[in-house]
A and B are shown apart, each in its own frame.
Chain A
Amino acid sequence: MKGYSKYFGGKLLWFSVTFVAAFLLNFILPRLMPGDPVAVITQRVTTGMTSQAGVQKVYEEYANLFGTNKPMYEQFFLYVRNVFRGDLGVSFSQFPRPVADILRSSIWWTVALQFPAIILGWIIGNTLGALAAYLKGGFDKMLLPISIFISNLPAFGLAIVMLVIFGVDLGWFPTSGGYGFDLIPNMSWQFVWSVIVHYQLPFWTIVLIAIGGQAIGMRSMAIYELNADYVKYARFLGIKDRKTIMYVFRNAMLPQITGLALSVGTMVGGNLVAEVIFSYPGLGQTILTGVMGQDYPLISATTLVITLMVLIATFVIEILYGFIDPRVKAAQAD
């Protein structure tokens, strides 16, 4: 157990450092850029106002409210304090709704949509990839081109194709939203059913995207492992093929887990765009609204939340990996 806690501790430290770095970037990057967010909101509020002094007054009021007239370091401490209180500022575009409130209503849609889909896609993709490597022949010849095709289609492309085929042409599923637009979120059966129906298209799209990527990786990984020296050696000691295959799949799967940890950020990013295609009420949509409304605090908070989400997911995967790969414990023990 000592090995694990050391591994765990190391990872935890590393992720804390990463989070701090991400946090800093989130604060600094926008401030390094030209452009003045307060000017944007002032302009919006004061359209039609003719008095220059009046505009100036509004500007100062907002600068004060968002703290942009203070020195940088003071702004930073203010930002840190507020974030830790759960205060992510006030939205520009939905003024005066707090950003935290907007995010609270969208983050769970994304979490509940993406993570189950990515995990399911990962499992199916790896199984198919392993089978393709093992069975070769027809199955492989069919699976490989399909996977290559899917993984060459960008996430949003697949989303649109799925939407048009199953939503528009066949009409099996609704084409947009997270639930019927005429419903108010509550715990009724009707609402839950509507959520389930709306969930299907985005969910299976993301599953499919994940399958495409994973199957190819697993296939070549398994082919590589199948030719490994230990497989040959085990066979020449009389060990049954069925058993050596188990060695191979286990060993081929481990890098796939690490790969998942490394690519979860990219996957989530691509899927956010897919969410937008389905007008799913998750974080993708939030970004779109933020961009359309020039909503500076909302964008900044959303990116922070996405980073945190990805970091946690990566962390969890790496911790699980520590339990699954015996070498981790062995390497930490000495």
Chain B
Amino acid sequence: MGKVMLEVRNLTTKYITRFKEDIYAVDHVSLKIEEGKSLGIAGESGCGKSTLALSLMGYYFPPLYYTSGDIIIDGKNISGMDPDVVRKSILGKEVAYIPQAAMNALNPTQKVIRFIEDVIHVHEPQKSKKEIYEFARDRFEQLGLPANVLEKYPVELSGGMKQRTVIAISVILGPKVLIADEPSSALDVTSQKMVIKMLRDLMDSGMIKAMIFITHELPLLYNVTDDIMVMYAGQIFEKAPAHEAVFDPLHPYSQGLMGSIIVPEAGLRDVKLTAIPGTPPNLKNPPSGCRFAPRCKYVKPICKVTSVGMVHVGEDRMYRCVMSEEEIRELQQ
């Protein structure tokens, strides 16, 4: 077993809306990633994947608030640290993030290099512009990006180039853990491949030590990550090695999710055919008992009353259901 790069224990965070309602979008989430490993997170839109990504960095601002739990990065517990210390010593350096909307992640009126200067200055204020430029140029070339990107404004970059630029900026300070929130969903197939390759290279070269990859396109996860975690309504519903998670899911929700396909026909490319009827619960007041119960085809009376714990299967699998593995397999037949 390798060194643990990121460990999260019972992390809970919430949004407070302007009507003062609490939305627990990350609810008692625990996870662990070892050095050199990557973890994929999948789930329907609105299940809290992005919120989890943001919560993992230990730096909160309204409307997102920390409630409880621990975040341990490379042995250092960052929850409860002074926000300004987190900002200076953790963000970008220990853990970095690639936002979901990378298309709009760069300030439109700033050249790429100016932004990089701003980022580096947070941690190394003494560095001169020339040094930063040379450093950034080397880093970009190393990642297969042309150096002239640095002198451009975001509007001058194509979608794929912008996405890769954002990735390059995210890792410019050499973070140990990288969290990529749907880094490829808005791109065409070629750009998607380049982005995935770039992320893989980052891992392979050891530039980053561990990665979390969020997406709702499961096939993608299967190719990229070692483990897959399925989220539903702010909770983890299943965690398994990538192969098992895709081809042999245990939780009824995961099974439904794997059944969701993306029709690759031109023109109708974005139309999703969901195999799971119903809609996810409103997180303002989630159902008591199992949160998936209202949509589950195997639902039992007990599901609606008792809260459901995790069932562990072997070393590296677990799922959240009242049924045992055998029961599930039987029903599946």
Contact = CB atoms under 8 A, between A and B. Distances in A.
- The answer to whether A and B belong to the same complex is yes
Interface of A: 228-230, 232-240, 243, 247, 250-251, 254, 325-327, 330-331, 334
Nearest to A228: B104
B222 interface: no
B99 to A, nearest CB: 5
B122 A239 contact: yes
B91 interface: yes
A234 B91 CA distance: 10
Contacts of A230: 104-108
B119 A254 contact: no
Given A326-B153, A327-B153, A233 B87 contact: no
Contacts of B92: 236-238
Query: In the complex, which of the residues B88, B105, B123, B156 has the most CB atoms of chain A within 10 Å of its own CB atom?
Result: B105
B109 A235 contact: no
Contacts of A240: 87, 122
B57 interface: yes
Contact of B122 (A237, A250, A254, A325): A237
A334 B57 CA distance: 40
B57 A236 contact: yes
Interface string B78-114: 0000000001101111001101010011111111000
Nearest to A254: B109
The 8 closest A-B pairs by CB, nearest first: A238-B91, A229-B104, A233-B105, A238-B122, A229-B101, A230-B107, A237-B92, A330-B153
Interface string B223-248: 00000000000000000000000000
B132 interface: no
B59 interface: yes
Interface string B263-299: 0000000000000000000000000000000000000
The number of chain B residues touching the other chain, given as a range, is 20 to 34
A330 B91 contact: no
A236 B166 CA distance: 13
B115 interface: yes
Contacts of A251: 107-109
B122 A326 contact: no
Contact of B54 (A234, A236, A243, A325): A236
Interface string B153-189: 1011000000000100110000000000000000000
A160 to B, nearest CB: 38
17 contacts: A228-B104, A229-B105, A230-B108, A233-B105, A234-B119, A235-B59, A236-B91, A236-B96, A237-B91, A237-B97, A237-B169, A238-B87, A239-B122, A247-B107, A247-B109, A326-B109, A327-B108
A250 B109 contact: yes
Given A229-B104, A239-B122, A327-B155, A234 B109 contact: no
A238 B123 contact: yes
Given A237-B122, A238-B87, A239-B122, A229 B169 contact: no
Contacts of B134: none
B19 interface: no
B152 interface: yes
Nearest to B88: A238
B118 interface: yes
B181 to A, nearest CB: 11
Given A233-B97, A233-B105, A330-B153, 15 more contacts: A229-B101, A230-B107, A233-B106, A236-B91, A236-B96, A237-B92, A237-B119, A237-B170, A238-B88, A238-B90, A238-B123, A251-B108, A326-B109, A327-B153, A330-B152
Contact of A330 (B57, B97, B156): B156
Contacts of B104: 228-230
Interface in B28-62: 54, 57, 59, 61
B278 to A, nearest CB: 30
Contacts of B57: 236
B105 to A, nearest CB: 4
Contacts of B97: 233, 236-237
A327 B157 CA distance: 12
Contacts of B109: 247, 250-251, 254, 325-327
A243 B120 CA distance: 13
A243 B97 CA distance: 19
B105 A239 contact: no
Contacts of A326: 109, 111, 153
